[in-house]
Amino acid sequence: MTATLETETKSRLEWAVEIARQAGDVTLEYFRNPSLLVERKGDDSPVTAADKGAEKLLRERIAERFADDAIVGEEYGQTPGTSGFVWVLDPIDGTKSFIHGVPLYTTLIGVLHTADGNVESGTTQLGVIRAPALDEVIYARRGAGAWHQRGTGEPVRAAVAPDRPLAEGLLVTSEVGSFRKRKSGQGMETYLELDQRARLARTWGDAYGYMMVATGRADVAIDPEMNLWDAAALQPVIEEAGGVFGDWQGTATVHSGEAVAGNATAMREVLEVTRGK
């Protein structure tokens, strides 16, 4: 990383951590509110005023400091930029959990850098995963490690679990039913094989599952469906915590529409199952 890119990403990470907290506070105003209204988007996924309000705040705060940066968000699409930096936003990752009052939802902010202005060629530079209802955050930028903070405590260096096989570890995913949607028709078989190999499998998923991997509480997180705004914040956090992040073929990317992450030993075993499926 060049000195200029390092300086630019450092300033953006500091701002990303701050505005993720602010956006998380917006979501808490609606969390477990019995009057919360749920709408359905074109793909039948749910959206609430909390999703929309949090993303609007993020966009406004980014424009205040980095007006030349592009933005891609789940709720309001893409805003072009000229700086080469792209902010990727998911105001509430785990909206279904949020709606049902489950505190494992998160606010995600990732920043990519692209030399040609094409988002799909962008490489992840930093990521923030904030769990507002748990007052927990993990953040990372390339070359600077991943840092985990609970409440007002001091941030501590985050690290994946010591390398151990899946038979001794915890596997997490977001939704078992999503494996049935794999075009190959082998998605459910893949999940069932991994479930059988793991010591324990749970649906403590969405981005919180990847936070669990990055802090050593889970060994593998896997999802057969992943949008850019779901993945962009995860890759730098996992990799800076010493883990492996990529698609089901083992490519380190956030652009494949799927994801798997974990410690190196467990990941080798998982990729034996997922490659080609």
The predicted-structure confidence for 161-187, as pLDDT tens digits, reads as follows 998 999 999 999 999 999 998 876 789
Distance CA(21)–CA(61), nearest Å, equals 12
pLDDT tens sequence across 202-247: 999 899 999 999 999 999 999 999 999 999 999 999 999 999 999 9
List, for residues 241-262, the tens digit of each pLDDT value. Answer: 999 999 999 999 999 999 999 9
Of 181 and 263, the structure prediction assigns the larger pLDDT to: 263
**pLDDT, tens digit, 9 for 90 and up, residues 71-100:** 999 999 999 999 999 999 999 999 999 999
Question: Strands 156-157 and 136-141, how do they pair?
Answer: unpaired
Half-sphere exposure at residue 216, Cβ-oriented, CA atoms within 13 angstroms:
13
Residue 220 near residue 212 (C-beta atoms within 8 A): no
In the sheet with 156-157, reading across from the earlier edge strand, the strands are 77-79, 70-73, 85-93, 106-113, 123-131, 136-141, 146-150, 156-157
Per-residue model confidence (pLDDT) at position 226: 95
Q: Identify which of 10, 43, 2, 26 has the alpha carbon closest to the alpha carbon of residue 130.
A: 26
Q: Which helix (H) or strand (E) holds 70?
A: strand 70-73
CA–CA separation, 195 and 169 (whole Å): 11
CA distances from 214 to 6, 87, 137, 145 (A): 22, 21, 11, 11
CB of 74 within 8 A of CB of 227? yes
- Residue 100 is which amino acid? H
* Tokens (6 digits) for 86: 């792209």
SS3 state at 137? strand
With 90 as the cut, is the pLDDT of residue 145 above it?
yes
% of the chain with per-residue pLDDT over 90: 90
Q: What is the DSSP letter of 217?
A: S
Closest CA to 183 of 277, 47, 70: 277
Signed CA dihedral, 24, 29, 34, 37: sign only: negative
pLDDT for 1 beyond 70: no
8 A C-beta contact, residue 63 and residue 76: no
- The chain-wide mean pLDDT, for the chain, equals 95
Contact (CB, 8 A) for 97 and 105: yes
The residue that leads in pLDDT, 215 or 45, is: 215
For the chain, what percentages of helix, strand and coil (3-state, to nearest 5) are there? 40, 25, 35
Tell me what the mean pLDDT of segment 103-125 comes to: 94
d(CA 139, CA 8): 16
